[in-house]
Amino acid sequence: MPPDPLALNYRDSPHPGTVPSTDEALLAWAGENVKVPWLRICRCWDKMSKGEAVRAVEAQLPIPLTPFTADMRAMFYVMRDLNPLMTFEPGNLFTIILDSTGTRILRAYMERTRMNAYISLDEVRLDPSWTRRAEEIITSGNLFPLKELLSAHMVRERGVYVNWVKIANVRFFGAFKDALEEFAGPGTLSSYIAAAYRAVREIYSHGWIAFSPKPKGFARLEEIIGTDSKGLIQYDPSDISDGEKDTELTNLLNETYIVALRGRDHTVALRMSGKEPFTLFLDQDISSSVNGIPFHRLPRALARKTGARTVLAFQADAAYNILHEYLLRPFPYTKTDTEIILKKLLYMVREYTTQWAIYPVPIALKWYARVGRFLGLPYDISRLSYWFLPKLIVEGGMIGLGHLQRVLLVVLDQDQVRSAVVAEMYEGGMRKIRTFPARELTPFFRSVPLREGLIKAKHHLWEKDGWINFAVAVQAGLIREALKLNLSGALSSLFGLSRAFPSIKRAWEMIKKGGLAVYPDRGLVEVDRWVKKTGRLRVWFTMAQIPFDRTRPRRRGLLYIRETIIALFALGAFLFILLGMML
């Protein structure tokens, strides 16, 4: 039986009279804003997992701790496929809520799964037989025995095995409560992202959330992003949001963009838009109505039904397969791991129209982009050399930058540094991403050319955090122009491209005036010299053959045969024109 939210009442605390009133207030807020919506979601997924029909009105529910609503029927499919990757299978979860001191258990819940989706949220009686021992374990900091203790208790009490345990301090809810209050003012998506980012940072810095065992998806993300004092978690999103406002870009971001996933028996559409209503998934009735449409026509069909600006569709199996590789390989990735992940990724890119599709179709994927093949340019996305490029990228990077590479990326708005991030790679695999306070680097860029500022900033970070192999500085304006070019659809038609010419010119001017700087740049200068000396056309023709496979193996000299044919054609055309002019 699904639990009835209206019948729920908070039990009395096991520590009467000692729980601060602020904790009680937060518990009450969480009960109303987290527990009740989550129960409704569980009820919906319970029905779905039993194969029962769920009406659209029942399925449109708010997602707890966010301003988003979503069609829970769509989310059920995502949960069904993703939950085993991100957490455990089965994923029965025991949740403990601690008081603000982090020593006493205030509430405990058992969340059961069916088909990997959560179907129930049952409150667990705080029996001293387990709470005392559990509190001891939590206080000790070694959470390892906790799962077995709770599992034994729950098997005895309800016949349910616990797969993982989540421990949240009641102030976890306080952080999100503050974030939602902060969002309520401006009510924009960017304000929520900034507020939620700060909430997560606060939660990690105080250790208000813990898992035992830690779900592999979370663990992997934490390892890459880093939750320590220099991890990406320390990044201040207000640095970006304080930047110059661009109305054109804001309008573009307020449009609707859809990412669709086509499974064996369903289609799910993730909706993204910068303006209200913040609906995370499309109405599943719309998504289901395109189930019968062939995959390569899916983006167009969805765009027509929803008026979305761009629709990107993936075969769910292929997308999850890559995610699976990404999450399950031990971290930090070795050279081989990185190569395999890249191979799978590039193979998916190569399989355009079978594993992914897009609408509107960019010029690069249209039929006339392949006309260049007649002139010897081997461009064809379906012949992308997925087996060769990863090796070239990984080993080439290792040869060029060394086995331990630290790359600095600085984004500036005029002479104000907006973000400074260092990506650390080891033996060809990503190790971690670190962030540095943007304001600390700003003085280096004042009143000096970008390149000089970059060198100074690089040396400053060398002193502070170790050697930086390569540094890139880019003006935010350039990124904005690039974003606009992509989002405006200019790259999807020759007409659009011609209309976007001012934007391209603006970006080019920005680059020429030093909107982009790299250091050390001597290698690039030498490459440029060599290209000019060798002949741009020849080098680019040769380079164009690197990413694509040729389909005529072991036929030596074919390059010259083709050139001969082209030359003969050109000669014929020239003679024909000459003859025409003479006549």
Partner 1 sequence: MKKTTVAVGYGEDRIEAVYKAFQALGGIGKWVRPGMRVLLKPNLMTAMGTPAITHIDMLKGLAVLCREAGAREVMVGENPVCGMPARKHFEMSGYDTALKAIGCRVVYFDEEPWTYKLQLDNFCLRDMHVPKALAEADLWITVPVAKTHVACVTTLGLKNSHGILPDEDKARHHRGRPHAGTSLWEKFVDITHACPPHLCVTDMFHAMEGQGPAFGDTVEMKLVVAGEDVTACDRVVEELMGIDSLRESPLISIAHRRGVGMGDMAGIEVVGEKIENHRRTFRRAIWRPDENAPDGLEMLVGDVCYGGCQMLISYLIDTSRIISSKDAREFGPVYILCGENPPPPPENRFVLVYGDCAVYSTYNYDYRKKGKKIGPWWAPRPGYVDVPGCCPVHIAWLRGYAKLLTGYAPLISLQTGVEIVEAPEYTFPKGVPLEKNPRRWTWDREFAERYAKEIAESNQPKYIYENESVKGDRLKGRNPLDVDRLNPEEFDHLNTVESYGKLRHHAA
Q: Which of 144, 467, 540, 574 binds partner 1 (CB under 8 A)?
A: 467
Q: Does 347 participate in binding partner 1 (rule CB under 8 A)?
A: no
Q: Does 309 participate in binding partner 1 (rule CB under 8 A)?
A: no
Minimum separation from the CB atom of position 521 to partner 1 (A):
9
Q: Does 392 participate in binding partner 1 (rule CB under 8 A)?
A: yes
Among residues 100 and 334, whose Cβ is nearest to partner 1? 334
The C-alpha atoms of residue 338 and residue 332 are separated, in whole angstroms, by 10
Among residues 246 and 380, whose Cβ is nearest to partner 1? 380
Q: Does 158 participate in binding partner 1 (rule CB under 8 A)?
A: no
Q: Does 157 participate in binding partner 1 (rule CB under 8 A)?
A: no
Q: What is the DSSP string of 328-393?
A: HS-SS--HHHHHHHHHHHHHHHHSBTTTEEEESPPGGGSGGGGGGGGGT----GGGB-TTTHHHHH
Q: What is the DSSP string of 465-527?
A: H---SEEEEEEHHHHHHHHHHHHTTGGG-HHHHHHTHHHHHHHHHHHHTTSEEEES-HHHHHH
Binding mask 422-451 for partner 1 (x = CB under 8 A): ----xx------------------------
Q: Contact region for partner 1 (CB under 8 A) — 1-9, 138-146, 392-400, 472-480?
A: 392-400
The C-alpha atoms of residue 427 and residue 332 are separated, in whole angstroms, by 9
3-state secondary structure 235-284: CCCHHHHCCCCCHHHHHHHCCEEEEEEECCCCEEEEEEECCCCCECECCH
Helix (H, G, I), strand (E, B) or coil at 211: strand
Number of residues in contact with partner 1 under rule CB under 8 A: 50
Among residues 149 and 472, whose Cβ is nearest to partner 1? 472
Q: What is the DSSP string of 281-294?
A: B--HHHHHHTTTS-
Which distant-in-sequence residues (6+ apart) come within 8 Å of 20 by Cβ? 99, 100
Minimum separation from the CB atom of position 479 to partner 1 (A):
24
Q: Does 29 participate in binding partner 1 (rule CB under 8 A)?
A: no
Q: Does 530 participate in binding partner 1 (rule CB under 8 A)?
A: yes
Instruction: Assess contact for 73 and 54: CB atoms under 8 A.
Output: yes
The C-alpha atoms of residue 422 and residue 432 are separated, in whole angstroms, by 8
The C-alpha atoms of residue 73 and residue 152 are separated, in whole angstroms, by 33
Instruction: Assess contact for 88 and 211: CB atoms under 8 A.
Output: no
DSSP structure class, residue 231: B
Q: Which of 554, 580, 581, 583 binds partner 1 (CB under 8 A)?
A: 554
Q: Does 245 participate in binding partner 1 (rule CB under 8 A)?
A: no
Minimum separation from the CB atom of position 565 to partner 1 (A):
12
Q: Which of 534, 569, 576, 577 binds partner 1 (CB under 8 A)?
A: 534
Instruction: Assess contact for 144 and 212: CB atoms under 8 A.
Output: yes
Q: Contact region for partner 1 (CB under 8 A) — 45-53, 66-74, 202-210, 552-560?
A: 552-560
Minimum separation from the CB atom of position 401 to partner 1 (A):
5
Q: Does 294 participate in binding partner 1 (rule CB under 8 A)?
A: no
Q: What is the DSSP string of 47-82?
A: HHHTT----HHHHEEEPTTSS-EEEHHHHHHHHHHH
Minimum separation from the CB atom of position 344 to partner 1 (A):
18
Among residues 77 and 519, whose Cβ is nearest to partner 1? 519
Helix (H, G, I), strand (E, B) or coil at 427: coil
Q: Does 89 participate in binding partner 1 (rule CB under 8 A)?
A: no
Q: Does 136 participate in binding partner 1 (rule CB under 8 A)?
A: no
User: Which residues of the shown chain bind partner 1 in the complex (CB under 8 A)?
Assistant: 385, 388, 391-392, 395-396, 398-405, 426-427, 455, 458-459, 462, 466-467, 469-470, 519-520, 522-523, 526-527, 529-530, 533-534, 539, 542-543, 545-546, 549-550, 552-554, 556-557, 559-560, 563-564
